């Protein structure tokens, strides 16, 4: 069992299907590129357990409260997230996970559109969300890895008239090329759709009109056993799921020291 008084995330309690992309220091350069956004619904004080039933099956569950240090809210107060995940690894080369997340007032994953983070125009103070995601990762060869995930969040404003529900959809495909150019180096490519409001009972104006694409490429050059340098480029087409917006280009260089 894991107990964290501060800084816990839901992903701390469950394994990630794609080990090449999940690390913030060694994997993808964006939060969206590392894992399904549905897992990013909650951080703070938490507890959970990850149990291997055998070599192939793992079950992880966890709970985090954002404002547990606030006496008026406590551990089971206003903002929370809970996760349950089944991970199946029948071989060393294949991993499949099925994830469920339940959250309250914790919808913002900081990876999708403004509407995906707040589909009810800041009118609700009681947003309950149920989310599901499936991730698959296959090591096709020693030097080629194929992964991806698909996710759906159903958010409901429980304090508004008619309790409107919004559907938020996301997906991504990850291509990894381990040991390219040098042992322990990695070329990674991510193509995906950040969380998008595909339907919204709150009103047609609160549904994303277009579709944005997240394109990401990075190369981790393992300079030494302890130092890795990762240049990368992120391109966002139709940012905020709006074709009127100009394409965004973000270049970055990450240096990681591991001792």
Q: Can you give the pTM of this predicted structure?
A: 0.92
Tens of pLDDT, residues 123-152: 999 999 999 999 999 999 999 999 999 999
Tens of pLDDT, residues 206-221: 999 999 999 999 999 9
Chain-centroid distance of CA 175 in Å reads 17
Q: Is the pLDDT of residue 71 over 70?
A: no
The C-alpha atoms of residue 147 and residue 167 are separated, in whole angstroms, by: 24
Sign for the pseudo-dihedral over CA of 69, 74, 79, 82 = positive
The three-state secondary structure class of 107 is coil
- Kindly calculate the radius of gyration of the chain based on its CA atoms and give it in whole angstroms: 19
Tens of pLDDT, residues 92-134: 999 999 999 999 999 988 889 999 999 999 999 999 999 999 9
117-146: burial string, b at 16+ Cβ within 10 Å, e else:
ebbbeeebeebbbebebebbbbbeeeeebe
Of 129, 124, 211, 205, the C-alpha closest to 167 is 129
The three-state secondary structure class of 63 is strand
Q: Is the pLDDT of residue 55 over 80?
A: yes
List the chain domain ranges. Answer: 2-257
The C-alpha atoms of residue 42 and residue 97 are separated, in whole angstroms, by: 20
The better pLDDT of the pair 155, 225 is held by 155
Instruction: Compute the average pLDDT of residues 2-19.
Output: 81
pLDDT over 70 percentage in the chain: 94
Q: Is the pLDDT of residue 2 over 80?
A: no
pLDDT over 90 percentage in the chain: 79
Instruction: Compute the average pLDDT of residues 190-198.
Output: 98
HSE of 106, CA atoms in CB hemisphere, 13 A: 29
Q: Which two tokens stand for residue 238?
A: 């139709």
Right CATH number for 2-257 from 1.10.10.10, 3.75.10.10, 2.40.160.10, 3.90.45.10? 2.40.160.10
**Predicted pLDDT of residue 176:** 97
């Amino acid at each position: 069992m894991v107990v964290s008084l501060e800084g816990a995330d839901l992903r701390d309690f469950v394994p990630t299907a794609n080990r090449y992309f999940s690390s913030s220091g060694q994997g993808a350069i964006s939060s969206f590129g590392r894992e399904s956004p549905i897992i990013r619904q909650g951080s703070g004080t938490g507890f959970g357990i990850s149990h291997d039933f055998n070599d192939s099956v793992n079950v992880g569950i966890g709970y985090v409260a954002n404002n547990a240090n606030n006496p008026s809210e406590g551990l089971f107060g206003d903002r929370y997230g809970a996760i349950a995940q089944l991970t199946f690894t029948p071989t060393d080369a294949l991993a499949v996970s099925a994830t469920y997340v339940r959250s309250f007032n914790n919808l913002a994953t900081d990876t999708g559109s403004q509407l995906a983070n707040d589909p009810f125009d800041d009118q609700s103070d009681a947003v309950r969300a149920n989310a599901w995601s499936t991730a698959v990762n296959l090591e096709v060869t020693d030097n080629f890895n194929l992964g991806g995930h698909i996710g759906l969040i159903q958010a409901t404003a429980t304090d508004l008239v008619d309790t409107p529900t919004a559907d938020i959809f996301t997906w991504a495909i990850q291509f990894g090329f381990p040991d390219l150019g040098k042992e322990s180096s990695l070329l990674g490519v991510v193509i995906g759709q950040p969380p998008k409001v595909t339907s919204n009972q709150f009103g047609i104006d609160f549904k994303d009109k277009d579709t944005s694409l997240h394109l990401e490429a990075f190369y981790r050059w393992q300079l030494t056993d302890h130092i890795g340098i990762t240049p990368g480029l992120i391109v966002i087409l139709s940012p905020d799921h709006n074709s009127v917006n100009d394409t965004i280009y973000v270049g970055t260089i990450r240096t990681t020291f591991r001792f």
